Structures are given as C-alpha cells and as structure tokens.
Chain A
Amino acid sequence: MNKRSSKKKLKDAGQGYLFMSPTLFVLALFIIGPILYAIFLSFNKVQLLGETSFEFVAFENFARIMEDNRALIALKNTAKYVLIVVPCQTILALILAATLNAGLKGEKFFRIVYFLPTLTSSAVLTLIFMWMYNKEGLINNLLEMIGLPGYNFLGDPDIALNAIMLMNIWATAPFFMVIYLAALQDIPDSLYEAAELDGANALQKFFYVTVPFLRPVTSFVVIMGLIGTFQLFDQSYIFSGGSGGPNNSTLTVVLLIYQYAFKSLGTMGYAAALAFALAIIILIATLIQRKFSKEESLY
C-alpha cells in the first residue's frame, strides 16, 4: 500500500516536471540565468571586441552614474514624464470609463473606437504622430486655423518631450479605461440609490461613491502606469532616431541603457548597472505608491 502510494507520488512528480519543462528551460536560460549574469556584468567592465572579456571593477559602474551628466538628464526627463503622464492617463481613463458606463446608447460603438490606440503598435502610433506634429503637419495647420502660433514639435527641445507625453496619454488611457469599466460593473446599485435618497447629484455620486469604491483599482492602474512609464523607450527612440535629441530632451533612462549597451564600446557593464538602478527606482516608486494608497484607505 505504502509502496504503491510512493510510486504514485513519483509518477505525479515526473508528470509535474514534464508539464513544467518548457517553462523551466526558459526560466533558467533566459530569465534567472540572465539576472545573475546581469549582476556579474554590473561589477565588470565588458569588452565585446572579438572575444568577450571582463575586468572586475567593483562598484565603479554604480559610482559612475552620479558623475554622468547624461544619466542625470535621462533620469530628470523620465521623472518628469512619469509625474505628468501617470496622473493624466489615470484621470482620463476614469472619466472615460464613468462616461461610457452611464448607460447611454451607442456605448459599444464608442468602446470599440476608444480601443483603437491600444491595438496599434507604438512604432505606428509614433510615426502617425510625427507626421501630424510635422512643421507643416495637421496639428500646426489646425492651430493656425484657430489663430494660435505653431510649434516645432519635433525639433524644439522644450517641446519634444511634451509631444511624446501627449501622444502616450492619448494612447494608454483607453487600456486603463477598460480595467475601470470592468470594475464599475461591480459597484452595487444600492450604493447609488442610497446616495440619491440623500439628494446627491450626478457629480456628487461620482466623487463620493464611484471614486472611493474604485480606489483599489486606481492603485493597480497607477502601479501599472508607473512600471510602464518608467520604461519609456520605443517612442523616444523613433522620435529622435535613437539619439534622444534634440539636445537630449527625449533621452530616457531605457534609451540611455540601450545606447550604452549596444551603441558604444566598453560600456555594457555600466549599462547593466544603470538597468539595476532603474529596477530599484521602479520598485521604490511602487512601494511608495502602495504606502500612500494604504494610508488613504484608513479614512
């Protein structure tokens, strides 16, 4: 009896590993292994010429971040981008979801339309916007029509990052809108009915019933937003042709990591150190957000 059950256990274990084998393979070779490898790289100077060679430099790569002017610029650009885009896209997503959820006719049509940017690749969206942002492009023409001055969206260092922000708020808000929409279905009607009995108008219902009820979802949306925005790359790369220009104004941390890793010689170890710094910044940002939303929910 005992023997049989241990045999069965063995068989179960074998099946378990058989089912897990593709996952274990990829985890080991392309995720866990590389993480350890990245730690090693970040403490070394890496030369890729011919044979790959390593030279142990201890914390030099990490110390270098503080002295690297471009790293500070990239960090500043990324921080500005995160601080503006995350709140804007979250609020826009919430407003769109609440409006769509009001039970109007044609809701389905609007939902399909709103969803288009989520389906489209970042490369295509960036190209479409570059075409519209062009000096004699659609947006400048529209501004001229209503008597406003035009901008050099692509070439002016003061404008370029803002142009990317605007585009990405427009592109990501619908994705989070869908998450809000799903959560809105869970709000019990009785809450709204009670608020109505207390004489609340539509706006009051939104601020005193909908918004507090959605707080956990908002927390999730903000964390997802933080993780996504800190990793801005595609748009900056395409916008600036990989340089981060004009005048480093669209240089983001990930673009800088890419440049140091693959576009200049001997800086791959430094790029790995930067990547770890970014991972830690993202982790800290999400922890701070968590703490915030927990304290808020105490009220």
Chain B
Amino acid sequence: MNSRKKSFGKSLLYVILVLYAVTTLVPFLWALSSSFKTLEEIISGTMNFIPKNFTLANYQQIFVEQDLFPRWLLNSLIIAVIGTLLNIIFNSMAGYALARLSFPGKKALFIIILAVLMIPAQVTMIPNYLILKELGWLNSYQGMIVPSMINATFIFMMRQFFINFPKELEEAAQLDGLSRLGIFFKIVLPLAKPALAAQAIFVFMGFWNDFMRPLIVMTDTEMYTLPLGLNTFKGQFVSYWNYIMAASMVFTLPVLLLYAFFNRFFIKGISFTGGK
C-alpha cells in the first residue's frame, strides 16, 4: 500500500517535471524550427515543428545580404569581451583591497559600494547620458564599456572570497620580494579561478543581453549591439519571422556555448548572488 502510494507520488512528480520541461522547450524549438523554414511556410501558419522545406537561406540572408548584422555581432562581441575582462580584473582588485589591505576610508567605501547596489539604474541613466555626451562618448565602445567596467555585486563577492583566502602563500611571496601587484597577479588571481569564472559568466551575460544601455548610448545603426539590431529587424521585416528567428538563434548561441562549458560555475555564481 505504502509503496504503491509512493510510486504514485513519484509519477506525479515526473509528470510535473516533464510538463514544465516541455513548456520551457517549446518556445525555443519553435524558434529554431522557424529559422529553417521558408517564408511561405511561415505565412501559412502551420504548426509543424519539422520544416517542410528545410532551408539555410534565412541564415544566409542575415549574414550576407544584411551587411549590418555581422557588424552588430562584432560590436556585441567587442563590448562584452573587453567589458568582461576589465570587470574581472578591477572587481577582483577592489575586492582584494577591501578584504586584505588597510587604508583610510576603507569602511566608508565598502558601505558606499553596498549602497550603490540598491540604486535603480534609471536614476543614473539620464545624467550618464549627459556625461557621455559631454565626453563625446556616445556611439562609442568606451561609452558602453567604461561606465560598467566595475560591478558592485561582484566587488562584494570577491571581497567575501578573499576574506577566506589563505594568507600564508602571499606572505611567502612577500618574503621572496614580490610587490603587492606582483603577488596579486602572479599568485592570488590564478588561485581565484573558480570565483573569476562565475563572475565572468554573469558579467558577460549582462553585457551581451543588455538592451536599455545600448539603446541610449548607441544611436548610430553602425554601432548597434545585437539586441538593438534584432529590434530594428523586427521593424524592418514585419512578417519575416524566419529572418528574425534566425538572427535570434545566432544571438543566443554564444551564451549557450558558455553555459555548456562553465555549467558548474553557473550554479555557484547564482547561489552566491542569492546571498550565500
């Protein structure tokens, strides 16, 4: 009796899991299949997930005929890659200083960094636009990268990480005559790889998926990042959902690859940002 009840419960759980997995997968599979369909099939409004006439023409269209699309992809890559590298170095440096070095104003700075976490981006977005305009940084990579080359969340995360970091190694290196910066880059950072990986993934995703900031900073279509480009695609090809879906798939691929490689750091990173 009891075991029958248990197996019933188990099947119920499986039903929930499978149903939700289907709910999650259907939009992605539908988008993927639409990206391989011809325009006629898209317009006809059929429900088949396997394209009747499988075609790569949509991908060809966006890469070859739309000369701006590769440019947008490049813009997105440049901003996300450089922005992520700078974040990793600068957040770690700040986290290390807050955890290990003593200097006047350290406590106040730490409190300010925590307070910054609470301020919604909309408050700073308007003045930032005016400042970037004044600097002549609108429609430039640095206009996207420099204001976000540090991140309060990850400074905080790195501080927590370095507080628990063993001191002995650094002390040994100090005796060998290495400077602080030398110790940091040669000894501390290489040992912090897991924390850096978790940070890298989230910072990269933040840059890659950002919509609002490029919308404000980049007004020249040449300088658009992919999310903005996708949005203009939508306006340009009103019912060409096959093109829009193909572009969406290209845009999603890099993050999926990153996830595939760094899966385990992902969960760690989230449970960290989850206040652990």
Interface residues of A (CB under 8 A from B): 9, 12-20, 22-24, 26-27, 29-35, 37-38, 41, 52, 95-96, 99-100, 102, 104, 106, 110, 112-117, 119-125, 127-132, 134, 136-138, 141-142, 145, 170, 174-175, 178-179, 181-183, 202, 217, 220, 227, 230-231, 233-234, 237-238, 241, 254, 257-258, 261-262, 268, 271-272, 275-276, 278-279, 282-283
With A110-B21, A238-B234 given, is the CB distance from A121 to B274 under 8 Å? no
Given contacts A23-B155, A257-B122, contact A16 B102 (CB under 8 A): yes
Chain A contacts for B59, CB-based, 8 A: none
B180 and A127 contact, CB distance less than 8 A: no
- 27 CB < 8 A contacts A-B: A9-B102, A20-B109, A22-B89, A22-B149, A23-B91, A27-B116, A30-B147, A35-B124, A38-B123, A104-B14, A117-B24, A119-B252, A121-B208, A121-B251, A128-B27, A131-B244, A131-B245, A141-B45, A174-B24, A178-B267, A178-B271, A202-B9, A233-B211, A234-B212, A238-B231, A275-B120, A283-B118
Residues A276 and B47 in contact in the complex (CB < 8 Å), given A13-B103, A113-B21, A122-B209: no
Asked if A12 meets B102 with Cβ closer than 8 Å, knowing A23-B94, A137-B45, the reply is yes
Query: B interface vs A, CB < 8 Å?
Result: 9-10, 13-14, 16-17, 20-21, 23-28, 30-31, 34, 45, 47, 86, 89-91, 93-94, 96-98, 101-104, 106, 109, 112-113, 116, 118-131, 133, 146-147, 149-150, 155, 180-181, 184, 205, 208-209, 211-212, 215-216, 226-227, 230-231, 234-235, 241, 244-245, 248, 251-252, 255-256, 259, 263, 266-267, 270-271, 274-276
Nearest Cβ in chain A — how far from B52, in angstroms? 16
Given A131-B244, A141-B47, A220-B274 in contact, is the A19-B126 Cβ separation under 8 Å? no
Closest chain A residue to B91, Cβ basis: A23
The answer for the CA separation of A183 and B13 in the assembled complex, in Å, is 20
Q: B128, A254: Cβ atoms under 8 Å?
A: no
> When the two chains form their complex, are residues A20 and B94 in contact, meaning their CB atoms are under 8 A apart?
yes
Closest 6 CB pairs between A and B? A16-B103, A121-B209, A182-B271, A19-B97, A37-B127, A136-B45
Are B112 and A23 interface neighbours, CB within 8 A? no
Say yes or no: A19-B119 contact (C-beta < 8 A), given A120-B252, A123-B209, A124-B248.
no
Alpha-carbon separation in the docked complex, A279 to B208 (Å)? 25
Which residues on the A side are within 8 Å of B155 (C-beta)? 23
Q: List, in ascending order, chain B residues with CB within 8 A of A52's CB.
A: 130, 133
Closest chain A residue to B250, Cβ basis: A124
Contact of A124 among B34, B118, B184, B230 (CB under 8 A): B230
In the complex, residue of chain B having the shortest beta-carbon distance to the beta carbon of A234: B211
A26 touches B149 (CB 8 A): yes
Tell me if A17 and B131 are in contact (CB < 8 A): no
Residues of A within 8 A of B259 (CB): 115, 119
Cα-based distance from A141 to B96 in the complex (angstroms): 56
**Taking CB as reference atom, which chain A residue is nearest B258?**
A119
Do A38 and B126 contact each other (CB < 8 Å), given the known contacts A110-B17, A119-B256, A121-B252? Answer: yes
- A52-B130, A257-B122, A279-B122 in contact; A20/B97 too (CB < 8 A)? yes
Bound form: Cα–Cα A110–B212 in Å: 31
CB neighbours (8 Å) of A95 from chain B are 16
Contact of A113 (CB < 8 Å), options: B24, B128, B226: B24
- Assess the A179–B274 pair: CB atoms within 8 A: yes
User: What residues of A have a CB within 8 angstroms of the CB of B266 in the complex?
Assistant: 115
Chain B residues with Cβ below 8 Å from A26 are: 146-147, 149-150
Q: Specify which chain B residues have a CB less than 8 angstroms from the CB of A141 in the assembled complex.
A: 45, 47
If A131-B244, A137-B45, A175-B270 touch, whether A231 touches B146 (CB-CB below 8 Å) is: no
Name B94's contact: one of A19, A121, A134, A258 (CB within 8 Å). Answer: A19
Chain B, residue nearest A185 (CB): B271
Taking the closest CB of chain A, its distance from the CB of B275, in whole angstroms, is 5
Name the residue of chain A whose CB is nearest to the CB of B103. A16
8 Å CB contact of B123 from A113, A174, A230, A275: A275
Known pairs A170-B24, A241-B235 / 9 extra A-B pairs, C-beta < 8 Å: A38-B123, A117-B24, A123-B251, A141-B47, A178-B274, A237-B215, A262-B129, A272-B127, A279-B122
Chain A residues whose CB sits within 8 angstroms of the CB of B94 once the complex forms: 19-20, 22-23
